[in-house]
Amino acid sequence: MSEMSKIVRTISNSLFPFIMIYGLYVIMHGHLTPGGGFQGGAVVASGCALMLVAYSSEWVFKKVKESNLSVLESIGAIGFISLAFLGIGVTFFYNFLVGSNLLFGEIPPAGPNTGNLNTAGLLPLMNLSVGLKVIAGLFAIVAVMAFVASRGMRKK
Amino acid sequence: MKNARNLIAVIALAICAVFLIFSSIMMHPFGKPSDSSMDDYIISNAQNETGANNAVTSVVFDYRGFDTLGEATVLFTAVAGVIMLFRREKHE
């Protein structure tokens, strides 16, 4: 599978940063707006899949190694479980950062309000780790399948 | 040997069927809302307890964190399976 025409590549190049920014926004604002780690990670992984379609899988694997994607996914999984274990003094998955003066420690006023990014304790960190995991996992699946399919096409 | 295996299969099927029939009999009637005390608790306390304005995220990552852990494990297994399946082809 070679790369697509110059028109497709130019449009993908100009769309790619906006998709990245939107996906990372959905991940980071998971505790304020609809969405979260899974949804934002899927958006970012679709943006990477756009580059995979516009260019070739060989080009993508020159930029990103598949083993690095596996390492990123494992970092996300280990981060999620260790964040859950940090609150083991009370229970598994205890949100100990809420109400403290540390990072993300504030409590918003009750009722509808615009919200503050510096709230919700462990939830933004868990959203980040799950988002990392989903980005790396979905992109690894798509990229490895595309790579093997293009190899099979060349053999014929 | 084969008869014993068939007997075990029939017994397992009977147990599953009993549970299925009982749960379909005890299902709450159609159109009548079920008990909403847990929903009311989450709606009134999620903002204060977890500090998140998005109550859905507070349920997914805090009240039911184990569910999310299982979801993440499913994704990990899927990725591991796909990469293992296609890596064998690379070494040919």
pTM of the predicted structure, to 2 decimals: 0.75
Chain A contacts of B78, Cβ < 8 Å?
137, 141
CA distance A4 to chain B (A): 24
ipTM confidence score: 0.75
- Asked if pLDDT for residue B89 goes beyond 60, the answer is no
Average of per-residue pLDDT values in chain B: 83
Percent of chain A topping pLDDT 70: 94
CA distance B58 to chain A (A): 7
Q: Is B52 on the interface with A (CB under 8 A)?
A: yes
Taking residues B34-57, report their average pLDDT.
80
Taking CB atoms and an 8 Å limit, are B86 and A145 in contact across chains? Answer: yes
Taking residues B63-82, report their average pLDDT.
86
The predicted-structure confidence for A47-69, as pLDDT tens digits, reads as follows 989 988 888 888 888 888 878 88
Chain B contacts of A92, Cβ < 8 Å?
65-66
Taking CB atoms and an 8 Å limit, are B61 and A151 in contact across chains? Answer: no
Domains of chain B by residue range? 2-90
Chain B contacts of A140, Cβ < 8 Å?
79, 82-83
Q: Is B56 on the interface with A (CB under 8 A)?
A: yes
Chain B contacts of A95, Cβ < 8 Å?
49-51, 62
Q: Is B67 on the interface with A (CB under 8 A)?
A: no
- Asked if pLDDT for residue A132 goes beyond 70, the answer is yes
CA distance A7 to chain B (A): 32
The predicted-structure confidence for B16-30, as pLDDT tens digits, reads as follows 999 999 988 888 778
Chain B contacts of A73, Cβ < 8 Å?
76, 79
CA distance A21 to chain B (A): 21
Taking CB atoms and an 8 Å limit, are B72 and A141 in contact across chains? Answer: no
How far apart are the C-alpha atoms of A74 and A95, rounded to whole Å? 22
Query: Quick one: pLDDT at residue A18?
Result: 94
3-state secondary structure chain A: CCCCCHHHHHHHHHHHHHHHHHHHHHHHCCCCCCCCHHHHHHHHHHHHHHHHHHCCHHHHHHHCCHHHHHHHHHHHHHHHHHHHHHCCCCCCCCCCCCCCCCCCCECCCCCCCCCCCCECCHHHHHHHHHHHHHHHHHHHHHHHHHHHHHHHHHHC
Q: Which residue of B has its CA nearest to A137?
A: B79
